[in-house]
Amino acid sequence: MSEVIMTLFLLVILFVFLGSGIWVAFSLFGVGVLGMALFTEAPLGEVMATTVWGASNSWSLAALPLFVWMGEILFRSRLSEDMFSGLSPWLNHLPGRLLHVNILGSGIFAAVSGSSAATAATIGKMSIPELSKRNYPEKMIIGTLAGSATLGLLIPPSIILIVYGVATEQSIARLFIGGVIPGLLLVALFMGYVIIWSLLHADEIPAGEKAPSMRERLNRSRRLIPVILLIFGVIGSIYSGIASPTDAAAVGVALSLVLSKYTGSLNRETFSAGLLGATKTSCMIAFILAGAAFLTVAMGFTGIPRMLASWIAAMQLSPYALLGALTIFFIILGCFLDGISVVVLTTSVIMPMVEQAGIDAFWFGIFVVIVVEMSQITPPVGFNLFVIQGLTGLDILRVAYAALPFFLLLLVALALIVIFPSLVTFLPNMMGG
């Protein structure tokens, strides 16, 4: 009973800290300090020092600032314009026409940025004015963008998969490979929905432009070559075994600087802005990870994870029932925290339960990322909703309503990987990752 009171006390303190606007990292450190000081006799200072150093001194973590910087460089390049002009000639004949540019453009940018918010902002800045000018329905412009931008979390190189890999000591290269098929599945589900919706509402989709000749299509597609080379350079070097994720991140930064220079968008100002943006984001994530690592160790000393794991075991929940409960828990938590905070905040407590239930920790990483994707488009704190609200000036509930069908499609994808776990494990197992 005392352990239950201790757990509730620390949970209340955590929510008080987070609700009062204290930084997530400070909240994590604060709860860890209180837990150890009040409920254990372990040497607080020594434990904190060794844990923070151990969490910061990780080679896997070195990939994080490099991938963030790569996304920042591309965010300031002409990449999104090139993708629009390169993709649009091939999509005009599909039901839904240029709405598919949002989906495929987000999928491609996700493969080079690793960030959901960066994908929403970059693709949105290009596609919202273009599609609005052509009189596409506002609801579908916003919905396809909000839903597809979440692919930035799943399609490798994903920043959140790096964070999960570091927090749970899973292979980052294997997690990257595991995210490929679910990512492509989501692209297919989103495009399928747009096709069906467009066939049912044909009068709302504007007439397509005159179909360009094959020669013109190929000519305009040349603008896609640099970004395709970048994707193959980064992802190919990891999958072929030439480079680790950290090495590949350095390759990605070098190639994105070359691409940015090639498109004429690299100058002293954009270089400095990209470097500063990457530094701020990386420091924030690293600080949160250090706080989460300390909280994990502190919780270990208090015995809370062990107690929760045995409590879950005593309830004899089936793995499916546990996954259902965790899905609801993550979506609610995602309404108040960003995705990275959700992952680092919960792994210390959730992972013992997951392992107790016999759920593969590697597969669970992809499961968690899809659930966190769902939380990106749920009010009041869906980060993609904030980004799109900033781009359009629309009410956030209107944006959330437009994103609702894509939230449900993410739920379908989640159900599919639960029913068919091989969607996640097939590629990593085949490649021996």
Query: What is the tens place of the pLDDT at every residue in 146-198?
Result: 888 888 788 877 888 888 888 888 888 889 889 889 999 999 999 999 999 99
Residue 320: name the closest of 358, 264, 352 by CA.
Answer: 358
Query: Is the residue at 201 inside a domain?
Result: yes
Q: How many domains does the chain have?
A: 1
Q: What is the pLDDT of residue 336?
A: 62
Compute and round to an integer the Cα radius of gyration of the chain.
22
User: What letter represents residue 190's amino acid?
Assistant: F
In a domain, 268, yes or no: yes
Q: What percent of the chain has pLDDT over 90?
A: 12
Tens digit of each residue's pLDDT (9 = 90 or more) over 301-311: 877 766 766 67
Residue 106 forms part of a structural domain? yes
Residue 415 lies in a domain: yes
In this prediction, residue 188 carries a pLDDT of 93
Instruction: Provide the pLDDT for residue 410.
Output: 93
- Residue written as tokens 């193959």? 232
For 198-213, letters b (16+ CB in 10 Å) and e give beeeeeebeeeeeeee
Q: How much is the mean pLDDT over the chain?
A: 81
DSSP, collapsed to helix, strand or coil, labels residue 4 as helix
Distance CA 368, CA 414 (A): 9
Whether the predicted pLDDT of 209 surpasses 70: no
pLDDT of residue 421: 92
pLDDT, residue 375, reads 82
pLDDT band at 105 (very low <50, low <70, confident <90, very high): confident
Identify which has the larger pLDDT, 8 or 335.
Answer: 8
Candidate from 239-248, 271-280, 378-387, 405-414 with smallest mean pLDDT: 378-387
pLDDT at 312: 65
The string over 268-286, giving b where at least 16 C-beta atoms fall within 10 Å of a residue's C-beta and e elsewhere, is: eebbeebeebbeebbebbb
What angle separates helix 339-356 from helix 304-315, to the nearest 10 degrees?
Answer: 60
Whether residue 4 is contained in a domain is answered as no
Q: Judge whether 86 and 224 are in contact, CB under 8 Å.
A: yes
* Confidence at residue 197, expressed as pLDDT on a 0 to 100 scale: 92
pLDDT at 117: 73
- Selected residue with higher pLDDT from 431 and 354: 354
- C-alpha torsion sign, points 241, 242, 243, 249: negative
Q: Work out the pLDDT band at 208, boundaries 50, 70, 90.
A: low
Q: Does the reported pTM lie above 0.95?
A: no
Q: Which residue has the tokens 């749920």?
A: 378
The single residue listed with the structure tokens 């943006």 is 277
Q: Is the dihedral of CA 337, 341, 345, 348 positive or negative?
A: positive
Higher pLDDT, 209 or 383: 383
Q: Residue 317 is part of which domain span? A: 29-430
Return the pLDDT at 193: 94
Q: Is the pLDDT of residue 27 over 70?
A: yes
pLDDT over 90 (residue 89): no
Looking at residue 309, its pLDDT comes to 61
Q: Is residue 16 part of a domain?
A: no
Helices (H), 57-171: 63-75, 79-91, 99-113, 116-133, 138-149, 159-168
Task: Give the residue among 220, 215, 228, 211 at the shortest CA–CA distance from 94.
Answer: 211
pLDDT of residue 310: 67
Task: Write down the pLDDT at residue 420.
Answer: 93
Q: Identify whether 23 is part of a domain.
A: no
* Residues 112-138, mean pLDDT to the nearest whole number: 80
Name the token pair of 423. 């969607």
Place of tokens 């273009």: 130
Residue 18 lies in a domain: no
